[in-house]
Amino acid sequence: MRLVIDENIPFAEAFFASSVSELIRLPGAAIQAATLKQADALLVRSVTRVDAALLAQSQVQFVGSATIGVDHIDQQALAARGIRFAHAPGCNADSVVDYVLACLLLLAEEQGWQLDQQRIGIIGVGQVGGRLARRLAQLGCHLLLNDPPRAAAEPEGEWASLETLLEEADLLCLHTPLVRDGLHPSWHLIGATQLEKMRARILINAGRGAVMDPTALAAYLAQPAPAEVVLDVFEGEPNLDRELIAQLKLATPHIAGYSLEGKGRGTEQLYQAWCQWQGQPPQHQLADFLPQVPWRQLVLSPHLTPQQAALQAASLVYQPALDHWRLQQALRQPQPTAAIYHQLRKHYPERREFSSLAVVSDNPAQRAWLSALGFRLG
């Protein structure tokens, strides 16, 4: 059994080495039809388009994608060839939620507002948006939730229209999948009309780049006193718009879900699907392979406000401003933006999730915030 795998999928040898005769690691962009001629199975990330052309010369029987989304997978082509397919829904959802919360805590302290006193609109309440909503609800935030497909399936829920979010939310977070047709398309969901109506002072998109119209966004940002915009995703990736990025409060190269735990869970979920396909019980779990964190615990001063305590804890684990700085510095170089994008993602430093940090505090208000945000209490 020969397994071809994207070189950026972590823990592959640990999970799969005992199950295959040969494990071949390749850059995602180098996985092509010619490289799959002798392969029996394929594991990819989103940079590899898996379709009939890629598989035409192969004998691949199993395809796995260590990603939440499956826009890059032609599932009909796989089904037509009788190929088993698996992906990893929710694998890095907590990582994306950590990213959004780290950005919000940073901006709240910088600009002098309290996160738990904001009206927060979330567009797309699935794996990521749903988890974000649960953490923010525990903080006591007032939430406005918009998800038309879920509202149709769960009419008893407290759902708000997009117009309500645009008119009432102080902070707006986008987590909808990219849907181009059907009853609820999300392609360019936020365009010139929506930006004109939006009263939010913070707009974060850590979902899909094409949910926002970049031309409309650039024009909006050129107006007096626009909202602060944070983007982790961009239409046209891996090609980036240098001028647009220069106008953003924070910009990162689609790394919100790049925690070690998030990527490792993707591998673990594919391994579990592989074992089911092989009719074997799983022999490994991610906890067996995660390295120890460089910190044991954080002891907080009881005199910090809960928000200050949360920012101190979050900053020890992850600082989005550093990723913004790395991207800004890289974009000053003359090489094509696609090359910059790929290099930043390929060499992304190891990042852990909030749950990796044990925090010690005797302040009940601090402990309530830290628990709600996903930290372990020591």
Please check if 128 is assigned to a binding site: yes
Please check if 288 is assigned to a binding site: no
**Residue 208 annotated in active site:** yes
Q: Which entry of 150, 208, 345, 367 is annotated as an active-site residue?
A: 208
Please check if 258 is assigned to a binding site: yes
Please check if 112 is assigned to a binding site: no
Please check if 127 is assigned to a binding site: yes
Please check if 147 is assigned to a binding site: yes
Please check if 257 is assigned to a binding site: yes
**Residue 326 annotated in active site:** no
CB 162 within 8 A of CB 120: no
Q: Which entry of 254, 284, 342, 367 is annotated as an active-site residue?
A: 254
Please check if 236 is assigned to a binding site: no
Q: Which entry of 237, 261, 268, 353 is annotated as an active-site residue?
A: 237
Binding-site positions for substrate read: 46, 67, 258
Binding-site positions for NAD(+) read: 127-128, 147, 176, 232, 257
Catalytic residue list: 208, 237, 254
Binding-site positions read: 46, 67, 127-128, 147, 176, 232, 257-258
